[in-house]
Structure 1
Amino acid sequence: PEFLHLIHCKFYDHNAKWLICAVGDTEINFQFSVLQVITGFHHFHGGISKLKQVTGHAQCNVQCSIVAVSMDAVPSTMMTAVQALMDFQYLVQSPIIDDIQLTHISTALEEFHANKDAIIDSGFCCGQHGGVIENWYIPKLELMQSIVPSIRNTGVPLQWTTDTTEHAHITAIKDPAFSSNNNYDPQICRHLDRTNKC
């Protein structure tokens, strides 16, 4: 499993969208806008419902607050399912995973599956165009079934993270290209050559 796309992007594409749909755009935006500003964390002054091209760092910051923000506005069985999925996501990111941790990961996933129908029954599992989805044919959710066997076979998933290379791609390619004159390839090559000479 790879955290950026399997954990963080799945969180924002599914868990966050379910909770935004359940709480309502206006209310969840208001709740995020009034959260206390914490050094080192992104503060979402305009809320989270209209975010586009969200970075993994911003998704992690949303994950830290979304359960507390939406707790009172969501049916309890739905919140149990979302909390179980969040527990699963956090446990999988642990730097050391033993048999006890694997049991906790499996239990969290089972708890999600036991309560996930509350999300569809409440009508909060919505597609891209706002239509209610009546099934659980979501590839990223199906992929979660293979995480515990994968951990047993290959070890801790933290060793496969792409966060470092993704950050390097942003600082070495995207940032210089942003300040360029749109002559992309020669500009990036020149920038990298100059960086190597320094």
Structure 2
Amino acid sequence: LGPEELDNRLRCLPGAYGIRHFKNGISSLSQVSGKERKEMARVLLGCLIGKVPRSVMLTFRSLLDFIYLAQYPTHDDSTLEYLTEALKTYHKNKDILIKLGIRDHLNIPKFHSLVHYVESIRLYGTTDNYNTEMFERLHIDFAKKAWRASNHRDEFPQMMKWITRREKMAAYEAFQKECQAMEELDDSEEPQELHLNRRELARTWLPFDRLDVYHKVRFKPCEISEGKEESDVVKAVPGAAREGRKNRFDPVIVLENNDAESTGLTGTRAARVKVIFTLPKTVSASNGRSPAPAWWPEGPLAYVEWYTRFSGAADATHLMYSVSKPPSTADGLPPGKIVPFSQIRQSCQLIPSFPDGTVPADWTTENTLDKASKMYVNNWAGLYAYQTIW
């Protein structure tokens, strides 16, 4: 896998919430920050499928496994055993990097420190208790910004008052968010009306001829860690709806039956959101307009196009599930369904399986999901995806 092919794969990855799109690839980057390395790790493994030996994939995957597991805010004997097994897998396969000439040696202090993680967690608690990254960042908010807000004379009391006021404001904002509904339509853009023409109306029994259609919904998925509020966004944007916009129809995980839970893929199915809309409050009647039926759902609805169901187990090497486009229905359309938006558990990223191991010249980030017939569900897209897509 050369740098040009890797860059091509990164360029055509479809967009997803929380995932950075490397539109120019990564081979041309001269300086890479820690944040950029984390962003690369979220998509890199999926771009290596089919292009590197199995031992190399296991080496990289076990390191990612270890990194994500080490970030857990709580641990027990089971998770620490997972951490140990991930490290064993790394040590078992790491020599391939030396055999292939990728590294001359692996005598690197950071790699050696992995040996002590389990013991340190048992002795001192989870890694967020002694990770300095958070405190380095807070130094900017609680020291630098507070000092700049003062008049630089007898600054300490002023800094303390400034910080106290900001904390009260943050607490009030958090309280307001808790009072809001778990799901809300994004207010940043006005809803567009979806009109049905006369021919389409003649084929339907619907007592209305227009719907409010939205391009984006913000919602809060289930919390995995107590006290850590998650956020998610799903977009369904037709490029023709507004000049200058590009198509984007996000893949999601949909709760399909009663076996579904807040984590795992049992009872769920991958789909692609094509339209987000709400039903009207009033409908046509013989005497003009009347209130909509009481049993109509009040929240947003989504029309989704299904992918094939998940297999019984993820791939043993990269631990990602694969999905494909199902055969079209009798009328030539993809299988789909209208579901309450509350059945959408989370957004996800699908990484395409590239035909013949190369990226076709006409594939772009906007049309990859339309052209690819097989895709991998990227459970490495972040810690939340890692904990829920398995």
Whether 1:154 and 2:124 are equivalent positions in the alignment is yes
Higher mean alpha-carbon deviation, 85-94 vs 42-51, is at 42-51
* Contact 1:28/1:47, CA 8 A, preserved across alignment: yes
**C-alpha deviation, 1:168, in angstroms:** 3.5
Gaps of 5+ in 1: 1-22, 126-132, 177-187
* Contact 1:105/1:148, CA 8 A, preserved across alignment: yes
**C-alpha deviation, 1:171, in angstroms:** 6.2
1:88 to 43, 66, 77: 66
Q: How many residues get paired?
A: 155
2:111 to 103, 119, 141: 141
Aligned residue identity for 1:164: M
Whether 1:50 and 2:7 are equivalent positions in the alignment is no
**C-alpha deviation, 1:49, in angstroms:** 2.5
**C-alpha deviation, 1:47, in angstroms:** 1.1
1: CA distance, partners of 2:44 / 2:98: 19
1: CA distance, partners of 2:80 / 2:34: 25
2: CA distance, partners of 1:170 / 1:34: 36
Alignment of 1:17-56 (within 5 A): 23-56=1-34
* Contact 1:172/1:192, CA 8 A, preserved across alignment: no
**C-alpha deviation, 1:53, in angstroms:** 4.2
* Contact 1:95/1:158, CA 8 A, preserved across alignment: yes
* Contact 2:19/2:42, CA 8 A, preserved across alignment: no
* Contact 2:56/2:97, CA 8 A, preserved across alignment: yes
- Residues 77-119 of structure 1: CA distance to partner in whole angstroms, max 9, x if unpaired? 1111111111111111111111111111111101110111111
Quick one: percent identity of the two aligned structures? Answer: 31
Alignment of 1:89-128 (within 5 A): 89-125=67-103
**C-alpha deviation, 1:52, in angstroms:** 4.2
2: CA distance, partners of 1:141 / 1:148: 14
2: CA distance, partners of 1:45 / 1:24: 17
RCO higher in structure (CA 8 A, sep ≥6):
1
Query: Who is 2:138 aligned against?
Result: 168
TM-score, normalization by structure 2: 0.36
- Residues 16-37 of structure 1: CA distance to partner in whole angstroms, max 9, x if unpaired? xxxxxxx222111111111112
Query: Who is 2:47 aligned against?
Result: 69
Residue 58 and residue 136 in structure 1: after superposition, are their counterparts in 2 closer, same or farther (change >3 A)?
closer
Higher strand share: 2
Gaps of 5+ in 2: 152-157, 163-390
TM-score, normalization by structure 1: 0.68
Bigger radius of gyration among the two: 2
SS in structure 2 at match of 1:87: helix
Whether 1:193 and 2:163 are equivalent positions in the alignment is no
Aligned residue identity for 2:150: D
2: CA distance, partners of 1:124 / 1:170: 38
Aligned residue identity for 1:43: H
- Residues 48-79 of structure 1: CA distance to partner in whole angstroms, max 9, x if unpaired? 22334434333222111110011211111111
1: CA distance, partners of 2:76 / 2:53: 33
SS in structure 1 at match of 2:62: helix
Higher mean alpha-carbon deviation, 149-158 vs 47-56, is at 47-56
Residue 52 and residue 103 in structure 1: after superposition, are their counterparts in 2 closer, same or farther (change >3 A)?
same
2: CA distance, partners of 1:173 / 1:153: 31
2: CA distance, partners of 1:170 / 1:52: 26
* Contact 1:81/1:111, CA 8 A, preserved across alignment: yes
Residue 155 and residue 24 in structure 1: after superposition, are their counterparts in 2 closer, same or farther (change >3 A)?
same
Q: What is the Cα-based RMSD across aligned positions, in Å?
A: 2.6
- Residues 100-157 of structure 1: CA distance to partner in whole angstroms, max 9, x if unpaired? 11111111101110111111111222xxxxxxx1x22111101111111111111111
